Amino acid sequence: MNPRPKLRSPPLPSPPSPKSLTPNLNNKMPPRKLTLKPTTLTLATTLFSILALYAFLNNFIFPNPPNNSTTRNSLFGFRDKNTQNFPPVKVYMYDLPRKFTYGVIVSYALARGGEKQSDDSLLKYPGNQHSAEWYLFSDLNRPSRERVDSAFTRVLDPEEADLFYVPFFSSLSLVANPIRPGTVVAPGDRPVYSDEEMQESLIEWLEQQEYWKRNNGWDHVFICQDPNALYKVVDRVKNGVLLVSDFGRLARNQASLVKDVILPYSHRINTYTGDIGVENRNSLLFFMGNRYRKEGGKIRDLLFQLLEKEEDVIIKHGAQSRESRREARKGMHTSKFCLHPAGDTPSACRLFDAIVSLCVPVIISDYIELPFEDVIDYKKIAVFVDSNTAVKPGFLVKKLRKVRMERILEFQRELKKVKHYFEYEDPNGTVKEIWRQVSLKLPLVKLMINRDKRLVKRELTEPDCSCLCSNQSGILTTL
């Protein structure tokens, strides 16, 4: 197994010395007369002439200049979500052996006492928070005419492709067998499923493909939404574009905001269909989830201790079940704020449950990365509090109780505007936005392909990654 860092916290910059910040009050400068030299007058005259000429041309010769944002985007290669000036990116989806797609669904069902099914049209992907792999696979299997204004179009000839999508159901594969191989004797017709063997088999198959070898995998796209998906082989696919939920268990030289795409989890409770308002939201703050988590999630137990006796706060320990989801739906639909503390990893589906519930998320997760931040300003839809401040006795509820009703309504209005980005079944929702985000990576993919051809291989003591170190902010709270 590849070692992964638990947290990716960059070092803080050194503060400036007090001496550099203190003005020298002893050296008093005498006042000087303001004089204009001839060169200054000449420069001013020239500048005025240029501005006058620009005004004349702008108003009389070229009264309708082209749209600045469109021109800028075309110059720098950005794909604006509101314009269709760029042709769709051409993607080729590999026709993987069945065991990597529908076969994973069959294995999942067999491990839980289901019957073997050979008709793929009758198979149903098990509902869970990592369903993005199913939605993307299904979308590319639809006729192209049904993907209106999509940034992607599927091509059947790999020679035409800009990118190559590898549709392995890696997250479902990870949990397909609820019992670890080697710990139980399976019936003769039901072999024990091994995710590790499946990962190795995928790479063996992929490394035989001409288009994988051609560009060293830079133009390939993999989905590994579960934080542990593809854990055994991630070092061998890290050149590709990775579709992930966060970077909690990925090393610095495996993933970055520059190269990869952050996905939202599938929300697990029903979308709130009512209008904005606080009349039916009697609880101040709601949370329901596992109290005891590892690593960064240890903050949950501290928050339980601080909040469980507050009268207008509902905080419950609960695992995934239908009954828990019913309780969570009721709680989120009737609360003003919904708590999102870190778990084993920085992100979880609970955040997206809150968004579609119009319950203002209170995010206490110092290393979280969020999806689609080029189109969503999360400070307009969520409250951020750093972990050290959040566990100060009385701080959190005191701050939340001071939030005016009009401010809560502003949060809800913004949530309602953006919640379609978190609806996987909306034709203009999550899937469409994921493809747009992936299409933005194409210039970088081409750059890395060309760069890779001329680089001299080196042995370095530190990982050679051209990435953005994520989350270097020092924001304590956004309230």
Q: Which CATH class is domain 283-422?
A: alpha beta
Question: Taking the domains of the chain in order of start, what are their residue ranges?
Answer: 89-177+194-262, 283-422
Q: What pLDDT, on a 0 to 100 scale, did the predictor assign at position 473?
A: 52
pTM for the full model? 0.80
Where the chain has pLDDT below 70, the residues are 1-85, 179-191, 295-297, 456-458, 460-476
| Rounded-to-integer distance, Cα 28 and Cα 83, Å | 58
Q: How far is CA 425 from the centre of its chain?
A: 18
Report the side by side order of strands in the sheet with 335-341.
Answer: 313-317, 283-289, 335-341, 360-364, 383-384
Q: How far is CA 84 from the centre of its chain?
A: 24
Task: Find out whether 400 and 337 touch, Cβ atoms under 8 Å.
Answer: yes
Helix-strand-coil percent breakdown of the chain, rounded to 5? 40, 10, 50
Task: Find out whether 472 and 259 touch, Cβ atoms under 8 Å.
Answer: no
Tell me the per-residue pLDDT of 444-459, one tens digit each, with 9 for 90 and over.
999 999 998 887 666 7
Number of residues that this document lists for the chain: 479
Residue 258 half-sphere exposure toward CB, CA atoms < 13 A: 15
| Rounded-to-integer distance, Cα 372 and Cα 212, Å | 28
Neighbour-count burial of 209, counting CB atoms closer than 10 A to its CB (0-12 exposed, 13-18 middle, 19+ buried): middle
Residue 51 gets which letter from DSSP? H
Q: What pLDDT, on a 0 to 100 scale, did the predictor assign at position 179?
A: 64
Q: What pLDDT, on a 0 to 100 scale, did the predictor assign at position 345?
A: 84
E strand spans, 181-269: 220-223, 241-244, 261-262
CA neighbor of 383 nearest in space, from 353, 406, 351: 351
| Rounded-to-integer distance, Cα 265 and Cα 226, Å | 9
| Rounded-to-integer distance, Cα 405 and Cα 334, Å | 15
Rg (CA), the chain: 27
